[in-house]
Structure 1
Amino acid sequence: MTLAKICGLSTPSTLDAALRGGASHVGFVFFAPSPRNLGFERAAELAARVPDHIRRVGVFVDPSDELLERAAPHIDTVQLHNTAPARAAAIRGKLACDTWAAVAVRTRADLDAAQTYAGAADRILYDAKTPEGASLPGGMGIRFDWALLDGFRHPLPWALSGGLDPGNVAEAIRRTGAALVDVSSGVESAPGVKDMDKIAAFLKAANP
Structure 2
Amino acid sequence: MNTSLRIKVCGLTRLDQIQELIALNIDFMGFIFYEKSPRYVLNHLTLDEISKINHHRKVGVFVNKNIEKIVEITEKANLNFIQLHGDENEIFISALKQKLNSKVGIIKVIRINPESVISTKEKFTTYFGQNDIDYLLFDTDSKAFGGTGKQFDWSILNTIEIPLPYFLSGGISEDNIENSKHLKQKPFALDINSKFETEPGNKDISKIKRFISSLL
TM-score, reference length from structure 1:
0.87
- Gapped regions of structure 1 (runs ≥ 5): none
Cα displacement (A) at 1:50: 2.6
Q: Identify if the C-alpha distance between structure 1 residues 20 and 204 changes in structure 2 by more than 3 Å, giving closer, same or farther.
A: farther
Gap regions ≥5 residues in structure 2: none
The answer to whether the Cα contact below 8 Å between 1:126 and 1:159 also exists between their aligned partners in 2 is: yes
Size of the aligned set, in residue pairs, is 200
Q: Deviations over 1:152-179 (max 9, x none)?
A: 201322111001023323x144222212
Q: 1:140 Cα shift? A: 1.0
**In structure 1, what is the equivalent of residue 158 of structure 2?**
150
CA distance in structure 2 between the aligned counterparts of 1:57 and 1:142, rounded to whole angstroms: 22
- Contact 1:166–1:187 (Cα < 8 Å) also in 2: no
Aligned partner of 2:95 in structure 1 is: 90
Question: What amino acid does structure 1 have at the position aligned with 2:162?
Answer: H
Counterpart selection for 2:145 from 123, 137, 142:
137
Q: 2:16 matched to 1:10?
A: no
The 8 Å contact of residues 7 and 190 in structure 2, kept in 1 or not, is answered as yes
Tell me the SS of whatever aligns to 1:150: helix
Q: What is the CA RMSD across the aligned residues, in angstroms? A: 1.9
Please name the residue that 2:52 is paired with.
Answer: 48
5 Å-filtered alignment, 1:1-208, equals: 1-39=4-42, 42-52=46-56, 55-73=57-75, 74=77, 75-82=79-86, 83-95=88-100, 96=102, 97-105=104-112, 106=114, 107-109=116-118, 110-117=120-127, 118-119=129-130, 120-130=132-142, 134=143, 136-169=144-177, 171-176=178-183, 177-205=186-214, 207-208=215-216
Letter in 1 for 2:168: L
**Does the 8 Å contact 1:18/1:200 carry over to 2?**
no
- TM-score computed with the length of structure 2 as normaliser: 0.84
Q: Cα gap change, 1:51/1:191 in structure 2, threshold over 3 Å: closer, same or farther?
A: closer
What's the secondary structure of 1:39's corresponding residue?
Answer: helix
Identify the range of structure 1 (115-124 vs 74-83) with the bigger mean alpha-carbon deviation: 115-124
CA offset digits 1:36-78 (Å, max 9, x no partner): 11229534313422333xx110000011133213311221000
Q: Secondary structure at the match of 2:46?
A: helix
Q: Which runs of 4+ in 1 moved over 4 A?
A: none
Shifted more, 114-123 versus 27-36: the winner is: 114-123
Secondary structure, counterpart of 1:127 in structure 2: strand
Asked whether the 8 Å contact 1:22–1:203 carries over to 2, the reply is: no
